[in-house]
A and B are shown apart, each in its own frame.
Chain A
Amino acid sequence: MTTAEKPSGIVWRRRRETVAKHWREFATNKAGLTGLIFLGVITLLAILAPVLTDESGLYVTKVTGGSLEPPSAEFWLGTDIDGRSVLLMTYWGARISLLVGFSAAFLSVLIGTIIGIAAAHFGGWISSLLLRFTDFFLVLPSLVLAVVLAAVLDRNTATVIIAIGVTAWPSTARLVRAQTLTIESRPYIERSKALGGGHLHIIGKHVLPGVMPLVLANTTLVVGNAVIADATLAFLGVGDPNAISWGAMLQSALNNGAITRGAWWNLLPPGIAIVVVVLGFTLVGRALETVLNPRLKGQHS
């Protein structure tokens, strides 16, 4: 059967089999699977928001409800201080949160992976310098740094993404560095060097494919953190002032006295939404870690 198969065909068939095997293993992790389904549904709904709902309900000038109405048949989750539907706002908030979460995580993981691999692979003073640099930023309170960045730069969503992205990378860099060191200490790297492989060959054929699974799991966890960071920045008043986000909803609920007036329906929905999304990412990330990092096998429940 394999005699006629082309070598590249063999490779891709084996890759597909590996992915399928990991998927089966992942599927046995109930928590991870639940998280994945939740996230899938939420992401899909967020993308379809303009199709499924009427955006005009978000504009203060076009509202139909009264100020701080409790949940009713018309407004299932009540209204905010301006009379807007809290349900609609929470729904649309998912778009910003996920956008910021994914983009910031992507940026941060990209920086972290590059620095992490460089800090492990090249050795010598480059690596020590990069390591010191990473450790410095790892120790700094990243949220405070992000707050400062967001306060200094123009207030818009891109700023928030950059502020979170460029402050959240050190832990990824640390992880990638450790994993790169583990891989590079394996004899098959020595064998590859003895075969004549250079830096590009070693990194491209052995290191990158070796760290990618962990990076994938790590990205998932970073997205969760980025969603929290996004909400916190908005809550502290350095988010995008024009965006309807969960953090901004909570900030206005506190500042407009909705909370002191007992309007719990302004407080619970955005917060629960954050928890559900972040928990989803955390569960998926941990499940991925268990599947993809053999060292952790069986450590997470």
Chain B
Amino acid sequence: MSPLLELKNLGVTYATGSGEVAAVRGVDLVLEPGDTLGVAGESGSGKSTVAMSVLRLLPRSAKVSGEILLDGEDVTAMKWGRLRAVRWAEASVVFQGAMHALNPVRKIGEQIAEPIRLHPPGGKALSDAEVQAKVTDLLEQVDLPSGRSGAYPHELSGGQKQRVMIAMALACSPRLIIADEPTTALDVIVQAQVLDLLGRLVAEQGIGLIMISHDLSVLAATCRRIAVMYDGEIVEERPSAELMSAPRHEHSKALAAAFPTVGDPVSRFAPATGTPLPPEPEREGDQPALLEAEDLRVSFRDRTGKRINAVAGVSLQVRRDEIVALVGQSGSGKTTLARTLLGLQKPDSGAVRYDGKPVPLRGAGLKAYRRQVQLVLQDPTSALNPNHTVYEAVAEGPRIHGMGANEREIVTKALEAAELRPAEKFLDRLPHELSGGQRQRVVIAGALALDPGVIVADEPVASLDASVRGEILALLLRLRRELGLAGLVITHDLGLAWNIADRVAVMYRGELVEVGTVEEVLLDPKHEYTKSLLAALPGGTAQRAAADR
């Protein structure tokens, strides 16, 4: 029997303004019927190009070489008519559908029915009733009530949209499903459910699966084998468990280290970094609280005029010389809490105190406070004005606060502290000339230029590539150890907390449900919600892994 999918020496080049750019080079892959294969890699590694080439869905500027054998038939040589017949009937795609892969102005039922009408089973056209029955059946398979078939995509949550994508992919009972980052942008718990659903349906129906992701643990949870791509090539391909426990290639190691196992002592206070961390300084007992929230409440009106309590009575302390991780899923109110602490959002009631004194809500007092507490945002690309040089970006704070005189010295020092050395080399760069990691360092330098006491970092590594992630986390930890800089790190990623935080606060529906040291909360969770967060980790925790063994 021939393999379900075989890529032979696949190469893809894109024609760009400045000549041909090779996105994929000499990729060989084999997938047997019913087998599951994960393709891992950072952005730009060519993994999505490989996935899209299978059904020839690449943009016109792409040139494909080599062979793509789907059930023994070369896709690159197919006529358009044959290709259209193969699409979706033989192989279907689960796009990163939480966002835009569904047509916003058509009902999801119609969108699921579309391929059924187009590729009727056995070549006989189905009646409307039969199509409807099939749609209902598909929706049930992905645990959506059949009543939802009349809904438009915007009426569904991210997880529901992804379920619709899966139902759609199953519509013509294909032999192969290609899932391109199917759970990116979904919350941990929803991600776990979607992965579970996809894995179960594929196994039940004997469908072959190729899953693309930047997250090794996601792939390991669903796929039997994993191929790691780097710079357009496959650098390592092995069974999942093997690759996860003992990655061989440099790059696989970086990917694996980016998603540490919670509870694994090796990765505690040890983010993946090339430069060694300074030792833990002597800490003098219990420090007083530096930044403090007391019974903070913030509410918004939604479109219907109903009050939503985004932050419902939160008391939290960040002490000198410690990093606190604020953990929760999107919509839990953690970002609102951070904005309120920074004075960007007015609380309904409660107080924010800095160094024991209440923070003024406006005027010069608020401006002075803002020198003390600094913000680092998730996406460094958009956190820097694209037209400002690194110098301007870092000098913005000192200028606002009239620190004038030795501005250049301040900027240079801040850049060096953020490990952009030598600082002179970066002063005249524009953000688009820097890598993602360097941009985030510039943002951090901009914060350091004001010599703050606390840094509030909102998902500081969520949009960075795996290999950069560890370096930025190490920087935060180093700043804490060397300068005594306190940090409040907002994240959905429990591994991050395990990597660098001293204490964890778990936020759920506007309230802190559990606060304690990292070891207390992550190894011995008390609250149901914390437990479910930990249970949803694709890689599991070290405790559970040990128990399973």
Of chain A, the residue at the smallest CB distance from B401 is: A196
Would A197 and B377 count as touching, CB distance under 8 A? no
Which residues on A sit within 8 Å (CB–CB) of B374? Answer: 194-195
Would B430 and A194 count as touching, CB distance under 8 A? no
Q: Is B408 an interface residue (CB 8 A)?
A: yes
Would A14 and B384 count as touching, CB distance under 8 A? no
Would A7 and B383 count as touching, CB distance under 8 A? no
Q: Is A34 an interface residue (CB 8 A)?
A: no
List B residues 394-428 near A (Cβ within 8 Å): 395-397, 400-401, 407-408, 411, 424-425, 427-428
Interface string of A49-69 (1 = CB under 8 A from B): 000000000000000000000
Chain A nearest CB, measured from B341 CB (Å): 10
Chain B nearest CB, measured from A10 CB (Å): 5
Would B385 and A2 count as touching, CB distance under 8 A? no
Which residues on A sit within 8 Å (CB–CB) of B169? Answer: none
Which residues on B sit within 8 Å (CB–CB) of A193? Answer: 344
Of chain B, the residue at the smallest CB distance from A14 is: B389
Which residues on A sit within 8 Å (CB–CB) of B408? Answer: 7
Which residues on A sit within 8 Å (CB–CB) of B344? Answer: 190, 193-194
Q: Is A155 an interface residue (CB 8 A)?
A: no
Would B387 and A190 count as touching, CB distance under 8 A? no
Bound CA span A196–B378, Å:
19
Would A194 and B375 count as touching, CB distance under 8 A? yes
Q: Is A132 an interface residue (CB 8 A)?
A: no
Interface string of A113-126 (1 = CB under 8 A from B): 00000000000000
Known: A10-B389, A205-B396. A191 touches B428 (CB 8 A): no
Q: Is A30 an interface residue (CB 8 A)?
A: no
Known: A7-B408, A14-B428, A187-B378. A206 touches B392 (CB 8 A): no
Of chain A, the residue at the smallest CB distance from B368 is: A196
Would A187 and B400 count as touching, CB distance under 8 A? no
Which residues on A sit within 8 Å (CB–CB) of B400? Answer: 195-197, 201
Chain B interface, number of residues (Cβ within 8 angstroms) = 36
Bound CA span A14–B382, Å:
19
Q: Is A256 an interface residue (CB 8 A)?
A: no
Which residues on B sit within 8 Å (CB–CB) of A195? Answer: 370, 374, 396-397, 400, 446, 450
Point out which of B387, B408, B411 has the most chain A C-beta atoms below 10 A from its C-beta: B387
Would B367 and A188 count as touching, CB distance under 8 A? no
Would A190 and B397 count as touching, CB distance under 8 A? no
Which residues on A sit within 8 Å (CB–CB) of B498? Answer: none
Interface string of B496-529 (1 = CB under 8 A from A): 0000000000000000000000000000000000
Chain B nearest CB, measured from A25 CB (Å): 10
Would A186 and B391 count as touching, CB distance under 8 A? no
Interface string of B417-461 (1 = CB under 8 A from A): 000000011011010000000000001001000100000000000
Bound CA span A3–B450, Å:
23
Which residues on B sit within 8 Å (CB–CB) of A3? Answer: 424
Bound CA span A51–B395, Å:
52
Of chain A, the residue at the smallest CB distance from B367 is: A196
Q: Is B371 an interface residue (CB 8 A)?
A: yes
Which residues on A sit within 8 Å (CB–CB) of B231? Answer: none
Q: Is B342 an interface residue (CB 8 A)?
A: yes
Of chain B, the residue at the smallest CB distance from A183 is: B385
Which residues on A sit within 8 Å (CB–CB) of B385? Answer: 186, 188, 205-206, 210
Bound CA span A98–B47, Å:
55
Which residues on B sit within 8 Å (CB–CB) of A210? Answer: 385, 387
Known: A2-B428, A187-B377, A193-B344. A11 touches B367 (CB 8 A): no
Of chain A, the residue at the smallest CB distance from B380 is: A187
B contact residues vs A (CB 8 Å cutoff): 342, 344, 366-367, 370-371, 373-375, 377-379, 382-385, 387, 389, 391-392, 395-397, 400-401, 407-408, 411, 424-425, 427-428, 430, 443, 446, 450
A contact residues vs B (CB 8 Å cutoff): 2-3, 5, 7, 10-11, 13-14, 18, 186-188, 190-198, 201, 205-206, 209-210
Q: A188-B383, A194-B342, A210-B387 are in contact. List 8 more A-B contacts (CB 8 A).
A: A2-B425, A186-B382, A187-B379, A193-B344, A194-B370, A194-B375, A195-B446, A196-B401
Name the 6 nearest CB pairs between A and B, nearest first: A194-B375, A196-B370, A195-B397, A187-B383, A10-B428, A187-B377
Cβ contacts A to B, 25 pairs, < 8 Å: A7-B395, A7-B408, A10-B391, A11-B391, A14-B430, A18-B387, A186-B385, A187-B377, A187-B379, A187-B383, A191-B377, A191-B383, A191-B443, A194-B373, A194-B374, A195-B370, A195-B374, A196-B370, A197-B396, A205-B385, A205-B396, A206-B385, A209-B387, A210-B385, A210-B387
